Amino acid sequence: MLKIAPRSLIIALSLCTAAAVQAAPSRFVFKDVNGKEQSVSVVDKYYPKKIASYPAAKVDRKMNPQLVRAATIAQDRARAHSKSLCWRYVKEALVASGAVNSYPKTPMAKQAGDELVTTYGFKKLAVTDPFKAPVGSVLVYGAKKAAGHVEIRTKDGFVSDFHSKTPSPRPLLGVYTKG
């Protein structure tokens, strides 16, 4: 009979175990509720979802300081989730900051841009990417059968009646600012 040292035996067994672990099946077989045999691949590596980073907005020194203040006021008053009162919250922030001298009268958010230009001296910027809008600018979005959406650009996102890191998915009608 062959004598084997205990250390040699342990090393040999650990090598066999490692080989068995590496040769794990790549499919998991099970029976579904109808009794039919199904199989799915075994996930052996985890790839975490990468956190998307969005560009921070730049504070334009030529921007009206009242609009930057409006962004701060709106951010302080914003909730975690929308209450479908975006235009009301933006109106209140604009009035509270002194950016507009009276409460805007338009009922729908998609009408905000026209009223801001005709009544309050705002200008439409040639910006088509919401991320490139300066801090304090008012972004107006359209909708076919809905009231639309309006929000103010902040340094780290967008705010109306709620705060978001990403802009609205609706079509952007315009970015408005006051000189």
Q: How many domains, in total, are found in the chain?
A: 1
Rounded distance between C-alpha atoms, residue 93 and residue 15, angstroms = 69
**Is the pLDDT at 135 greater than 50, yes or no?**
yes
In a domain, 24, yes or no: no
Of 62-71, 85-94, 114-123, 161-170, the one with minimum mean pLDDT is 62-71
Size (the chain), residues: 179
Q: Among 57, 63, 52, which residue's Cα sits nearest to residue 130?
A: 57
In a domain, 36, yes or no: no
In a domain, 14, yes or no: no
Task: Provide the mean pLDDT of the chain.
Answer: 85
In a domain, 7, yes or no: no
Q: What is the pLDDT of residue 110?
A: 94
CATH number of 171's domain: 3.90.1720.10
Confidence of residue 24 (pLDDT cuts 50, 70, 90): low
Q: Can you give the residue range of the structural domain that contains 167?
A: 65-178
pTM across the whole model: 0.69
